[in-house]
């Protein structure tokens, strides 16, 4: 009889956790997340692939990826007590002018994720609100007194978390040949966030199996041939790495391929068939600011440091600093098809004495003068 009572009690408790899991998804939707799912991630295979990638030095100068690889592979070591990971997705695409800007080489292409306000604070705040709701609900549940104290912590692309493999196991999508998470209904223009928790929530099953098939669109359209093979990216050749993570000189052999991409690159998303009808953001904070979705290279190059600081306040663009901004724009001006106009703009910034920036300005001037000489 006691066994029957105990079994009924456990079933009731399990049902409570299942009900809470459903409620968490409702709360996540109310907080602006497009999708929410729970996993108990097994990162064994993902960790092996990470080690192979690091050993090949495909991470370039991002040494922090190697230094914290152990924590990245074991969520329970990053936050002791972790049993589950709640993964969320938030769509960010607010502008569809990507191709038009890329084709207009007098304009500056800025990765679409960086056009609005910085996503880190916004998503972390929403995850913290979700965590508060979960804590309040668990406090009200008639659980066994031996239930350990709830442990929770939100993460948004700022800690050693394998967000894509974790989200894949939760069912938010599959990791495509472009190494990005792709969702069959939403495409790939979205941010990911995680809430590590000690709550023993039921795990969601994934129906998002790899659907890339024989497609090679992302591999063949990459301007710098950064993909060494399907599902393998050499960051050292990636434009996003060169324009954001690289703090030094951009390799000369890659500068021409950068075109007008001055902060990041979206080509492997733009040409992905799963992004033909991408989900649009519902978040006003992700809307483009200061017309950065359609600005002239020359105009941005003329911004003073004070103007840059004012117009990039609260933006992911702040990551590269004013120096990186001018470096990248110099390359963009060096690739502008109007050589005479580009030379005039480049020469107008004789006030710049930073050695790194001047190197890229000199390259751009030499490139454009050669273009003029080659004209019939």
Residue 234 has pLDDT above 70, yes or no: yes
User: Where is 181: in which H helix or E strand?
Assistant: strand 181-182
Question: What φ, ψ does residue 368 adopt, rounded to 5°?
Answer: -70, -35
157 is annotated as an active-site residue: yes
Burial status of residue 337 (CB atoms within 10 A of its CB: 0-12, 13-18, 19 or more)? exposed
Give residue-wise pLDDT tens across range 30-45.
Answer: 999 999 999 999 999 9
**Cα distance between residue 312 and residue 148, in whole Å:** 44
pLDDT band for 216, please (50, 70, 90 cuts).
Answer: very high
Cβ 265 vs Cβ 238: under 8 Å: yes
Domain count, the chain: 1
Give residue-wise pLDDT tens across range 55-66.
Answer: 999 999 998 888
Question: What φ, ψ does residue 99 adopt, rounded to 5°?
Answer: -65, -40
Range of the domain at 153: 2-93+116-197
- Distance separating the N- and C-terminal Cα atoms of the chain: 98
Residue 346 lies in a domain: no
Residue 12 lies in a domain: yes
Give residue-wise pLDDT tens across range 65-91.
Answer: 888 888 898 999 999 999 999 999 999
Report pLDDT for 375.
Answer: 83
Share above pLDDT 70 across residues of the chain, in percent, rounded to a whole number: 97
**Cα distance between residue 363 and residue 255, in whole Å:** 9
Cβ 127 vs Cβ 156: under 8 Å: yes
Report pLDDT for 2.
Answer: 37
Residue 192 lies in a domain: yes
Mean pLDDT, the chain, rounded, equals: 93
Catalytic residue (choose from 4, 8, 95, 157): 157
Residue 183 lies in a domain: yes
Burial status of residue 194 (CB atoms within 10 A of its CB: 0-12, 13-18, 19 or more)? buried
Residue 154 lies in a domain: yes
In the block, residue with structure tokens 């590590």:
196
Residue 107 lies in a domain: no
Sign of torsion over alpha carbons 320, 323, 324, 328: positive
Residue 271 lies in a domain: no
């Amino acid at each position: 009889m006691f066994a029957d009572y105990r079994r009924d009690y456990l079933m009731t408790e399990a049902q409570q956790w299942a009900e809470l899991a459903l409620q968490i998804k409702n709360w996540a939707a109310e907080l602006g997340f497009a999708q929410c799912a729970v996993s108990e991630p097994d990162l064994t295979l993902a960790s092996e692939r990470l080690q192979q990638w690091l050993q090949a030095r495909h991470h370039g100068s991002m040494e922090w990826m190697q230094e914290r690889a152990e924590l990245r592979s074991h969520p329970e070591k990053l936050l002791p007590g972790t049993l589950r990971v709640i993964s969320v997705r938030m769509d960010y695409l607010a502008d569809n002018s990507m191709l038009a800007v890329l084709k207009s080489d007098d304009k500056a292409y800025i990765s679409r994720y960086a056009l609005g306000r910085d996503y880190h604070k916004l998503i972390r705040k929403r995850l913290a609100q979700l965590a508060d709701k979960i804590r309040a609900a668990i406090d009200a549940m008639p659980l066994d007194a031996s239930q350990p104290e709830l442990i929770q912590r939100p993460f948004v692309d700022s800690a050693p978390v394998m967000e894509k493999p974790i989200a894949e196991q939760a069912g938010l999508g599959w990791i495509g040949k472009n190494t990005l998470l792709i969702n069959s209904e939403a495409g790939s223009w979205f941010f990911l966030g995680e809430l590590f928790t000690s709550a023993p929530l039921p795990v969601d099953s994934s129906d998002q199996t790899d659907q890339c098939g024989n497609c090679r669109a992302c591999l063949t359209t990459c301007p710098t041939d950064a993909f060494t093979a399907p599902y393998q990216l050499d960051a050292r050749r990636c434009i996003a790495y060169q324009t954001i993570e690289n703090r030094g000189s951009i390799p000369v052999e890659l500068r021409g391929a950068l075109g007008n991409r001055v902060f990041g690159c979206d080509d492997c998303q733009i040409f992905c068939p799963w992004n033909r009808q991408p989900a649009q953001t519902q978040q006003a904070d992700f809307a483009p600011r200061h017309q950065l979705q359609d600005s002239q290279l020359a105009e941005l190059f003329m911004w003073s440091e004070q103007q840059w600081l004012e117009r990039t306040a609260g933006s992911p663009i702040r990551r590269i600093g004013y120096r990186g901004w001018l470096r990248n724009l110099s390359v963009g001006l060096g690739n502008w098809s109007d050589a005479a106009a580009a030379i005039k703009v480049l020469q107008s910034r004789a006030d710049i004495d930073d050695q790194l920036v001047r190197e890229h300005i000199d390259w751009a001037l030499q490139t454009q003068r050669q273009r003029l000489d080659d004209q019939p």
